[in-house]
Amino acid sequence: MTSAIDSIRDDFSFLDDWEERYRYVIELGGDLAPYPEEARDDKHKVPGCVSQVWLHTTRGQGADPVLTFLGDSDAHIVRGLVAIVLALYSGQRASAILKADAEGTLRTLGLDEHLTPQRANGLRSMIQRIRREAEAALAEAVS
């Protein structure tokens, strides 16, 4: 079974130029699951993003729980970036999230070359937030 991020990587390979890829990223953002209004607060807001970005985490049970994420942004392109990050991480065990090479995966998409520095920083902030959630899930499972 192909993962969501593999599917996105395959789709990117068929797109010839970055204008088409940007449109595709925006389309991905349009496909995000609805984000709960009550989670549009400071607790769920991701600091370090120029646009407003929110992430909501649901933890499964056990010593290495599965983490599921919902996300949203007030900017179309950033919503697409949220969708890509969620495709990489959502539905994964906490340990797998910590082992994932997000920067390498995003490099294979060419995002590192085509994002403004502000968007790249925001993307790193989202990844750091998700990694902290995974670390906390594992730490709480041990205690």
C-alpha to C-alpha distance for 5 and 60, rounded to whole angstroms: 21
Q: If residue 53 lies in a helix (H) or strand (E), which one and from where to where?
A: strand 53-59
Which two structure tokens, joined as six digits, stand for 60? 């499964």
C-alpha to C-alpha distance for 66 and 90, rounded to whole angstroms: 8
Which two structure tokens, joined as six digits, stand for 44? 């769920």
Q: Is 49 a catalytic residue?
A: yes
Q: Counting beta carbons within 10 angstroms of the beta carbon of residue 80, is it exposed (0 to 12), middle (13 to 18) or buried (19 or more)?
A: buried
Catalytic residue among 5, 8, 28, 49, which?
49
Which sequence positions are flagged as catalytic? 49
